Structure 1
Amino acid sequence: MKIAYFIMAHQNMSQLFRTINAIYDPWNVYLLHIDVKAGDSYKQTVEQAFANFGNITVMDPRDITWGTWTQVEIQLQAITDLLSNHAWDYFINLSGVDYPLKSQAYIKEYLRVNPSNYLHVLDEPKGHRYATERFTYTQDEAGNLVRGEEKPMFAESFPGMESHFGSGWFMLTRSFCEYLVTDSQPRRMADYYRYCLMSDETYFQTVMMNSGGAFPHFKHNLRYIVMDQTGQFTLNASVLDPSHEEKMLGSGLLFARKVDCTLHPEMVNRIDQVLFE
């Protein structure tokens, strides 16, 4: 069992290094993307830190904007690069503030015994922003999210299919990743979602749920996440603190989000005791 990790970071370098150390296995491969907004010195420091690791690569930086297709595009590029250059069984995406709750040996054995695509999926409720949004979205030269012209609804563009949404964090099999970047249907859906709001939380789900059952799927991403509602349809992941620790470590889940070793070092140390015991 070999895992390809794709890690996206733009701040909190201490936590990024801590996360990589916690998930490192010489048999895995690691592809890092440091957002251009982090600055050249951030990227150079990361590159220097892993210069002698043959299984850790840093991508050319891109400017990733919240809510735009860039968040999907960089992941499809990562999948394409990893498929071209490495043999692996699972693609797992992480941010720089995600952290494992289980050892790599445990995670690999879990995926071997329970082969599936772990992708959080929900049907779109009536009135949800993904179901009702009729406008295109892109980013301007300054990288800002910009609303444009009206567009057809998903059902109008893909008769007989339904759109779905969920978390943008997942664990995908190699076969589904190959389907994502080679099949004509995901490419047609990519053309549609390229100008949709929050496409990273709906593109992957919609491709999976309209693939005709070709890929095994479990509707949970096995991440421990505590969400705070900041608007009618807006949820943000909370930074986990010691009050979450007992439930988090007892959850049986594989990863947690968000974890910050600079804010709660003792909690992260206790997680490490579980990982490296």
Structure 2
Amino acid sequence: MSVPSPGIAYLLIVHSQPNHLKRIIRRLAHPDDHFFVLVDKKQHAAPFQQALSGLKNITILPQTTSIYWVGMGTVEAELALFRAAFHRGPFAHYVLMSGADYPIKPMPYIRQFLLSAGKNFIPVHSRLHPGGEAHFTSRFTRYHFLNNDYLNPRGAYRNHRFFRQVRRLLEKYPIPRRMTRSRTIYHGPTWVSLTHSFVDYVLKTVSRQPNELAFYRHTYCPDEMFLHSLIKESPFATSNYYDFERETDGKNWLGLFYADWHTPDVVLPKTLDTADFNALKESHPHALFARKFDEKASAGLLDRIDEYLLV
């Protein structure tokens, strides 16, 4: 008897749109694949549990992580999902997604591509330190206190007079962090897909070298640096799909995820609507998913994707 091929683990970090989450899972469902869902601790889990009731191959993780914009909570959520999926696996690929994503290729196409790829999809766009872009250096050369409702610019108390003043003081008088020239930091988008071997490497690294994770605890947007820096300094560097320093596919710098970072005068990435359908239709063959979607503003586009792209 032959051993079944490992499947795909979809790791979803969500804080809203439970019905859209159900729609994502129904479009990607396959008997060999599994969905791991982590709901932001600040949100009620019941609507998500209700929306997913009756669906198969789903694990909803305990709500242990509060997730704040550009804070450390996203990295903590990633690691919780990696651990849960790794211990249930092995899986051929671990696809990290948000609840604002959606497939733009049919499920059989996605499975065939990922199961035959044998690569990690962690787009590495730039080196931030040493000798990187000065615009980004404040992300890690000063302390940021963002993983809370008080000092995060999008937290629950963002408009409270006292905390606005504290944020202004920290901007004017930043607290410096000690940096070494030997630490190299790279940058790229959050949403990635990893092989089983690299997930094993990540989990062993954070277990054996706690300082590696601790370095990012008071940085700005650590989810755009942690995995990217780790893979570049690892034996898996040559297995990465997009790397600005290597001979890789430079046409698809967002890896598996299409996003619009170019439309002016909107919050980026742009919330996609029916005007974006042709761009999704003509997107790179390796753009398997797109973001970001709002179940109301993107309703017409989602229906067109279902009717024309996922068949």
TM-score of the aligned structures, taking structure 2 as reference length = 0.77
Aligned mates of 2:237, 2:261 — CA distance in 1: 31
Shift of 1:216: 0.6
Shift of 1:133: 4.2
Shift of 1:80: 0.9
**2:191 aligns with one of 147, 162, 169:** 169
TM alignment of 1:27-42, pairs within 5 A: 27-38=32-43, 40=44
Distance 1:188 1:227, change over 3 A: same
Structure 2 alignment gaps of length 5 or more? 1-5, 153-166, 243-252
TM alignment of 1:57-206, pairs within 5 A: 57-61=59-63, 62-123=65-126, 124=128, 125-130=132-137, 133-139=140-146, 142=149, 144-145=151-152, 149-153=175-179, 155-156=180-181, 159=182, 161-183=183-205, 187-206=210-229
Partner of 1:256: 290
Shift of 1:276: 4.5
* Range 13-22 or range 133-142, more displaced: 133-142
Are 1:15 and 1:262, in contact at CA under 8 Å, matched by a contact in 2?
A: no
The percent identity for this pair of structures is 23
- What is the identity, as a one-letter code, of the residue corresponding to 1:180? V
**1:16 aligns with one of 21, 26, 30:** 21
Partner of 1:44: 46
Partner of 1:246: 278
Are 1:65 and 1:144, in contact at CA under 8 Å, matched by a contact in 2?
A: no
Size of the aligned set, in residue pairs, is 268
1:253-274 CA-partner distances (Å, limit 9, x unpaired):
1010012332232321121124
Q: Secondary structure at the match of 1:263?
A: coil
Shift of 1:66: 1.3
Structure 1 alignment gaps of length 5 or more? none
Distance 1:143 1:87, change over 3 A: farther
* Range 218-227 or range 197-206, more displaced: 218-227
Aligned mates of 2:214, 2:76 — CA distance in 1: 11
1:78-122 CA-partner distances (Å, limit 9, x unpaired):
101111123311111111110001122111111233221111111
Shift of 1:250: 1.4
Structure ranking higher in strand proportion: 1
Distance 1:120 1:34, change over 3 A: same
Aligned mates of 1:63, 1:132 — CA distance in 2: 20
Shift of 1:144: 3.3
Aligned mates of 2:13, 2:236 — CA distance in 1: 29
TM-score of the aligned structures, taking structure 1 as reference length = 0.86
Aligned mates of 1:246, 1:50 — CA distance in 2: 31
Shift of 1:214: 5.3
